Amino acid sequence: MSESPLYWSPAFIQAFVDRLDSDEQFLNTARGFSETIVLRCFGTPAGEDVSAAYHFEDGRVDDVDLWIDEAPSEELRNEPFDRSEAMARATATYETWVRVDTGEMGVMQAVTSPDYTIEGSMMRIMSNMGIFRGLNEVAAEVEKRYE
pLDDT in tens, the chain (147 residues): 468 999 999 999 999 999 999 999 999 999 999 999 999 999 999 999 999 999 999 999 999 999 999 999 999 999 999 999 999 999 999 999 999 999 999 877 887 888 899 999 999 999 999 999 999 999 999 999 998
Q: What is the DSSP letter of 33?
A: -
Looking at residue 20, its amino acid is: L
Burial class (CB in 10 A: 0-12, 13-18, 19+), 127: exposed
Instruction: Identify the pLDDT of residue 2.
Output: 67
Number of helical H runs and strand E runs in the chain: 7, 5
Instruction: Identify the pLDDT of residue 101.
Output: 96
Sketch the domain layout of the chain as residue ranges: 10-141
Per-position b or e across 29-59, b if 16+ CB within 10 A of its CB: bbeebebbbbbbbbbbeeebbbbbbbbbeeb
Contact 107, 129 (CB under 8 A): yes
Instruction: Identify the pLDDT of residue 110.
Output: 84
Instruction: Identify the pLDDT of residue 33.
Output: 97
Quote the crossing angle between the two packed helices 129-141 and 10-20, to the nearest 10°: 120
Instruction: Identify the pLDDT of residue 108.
Output: 78
Q: Does domain 10-141 have CATH number 3.30.1050.10?
A: yes
Indicate the pTM of the whole model: 0.94
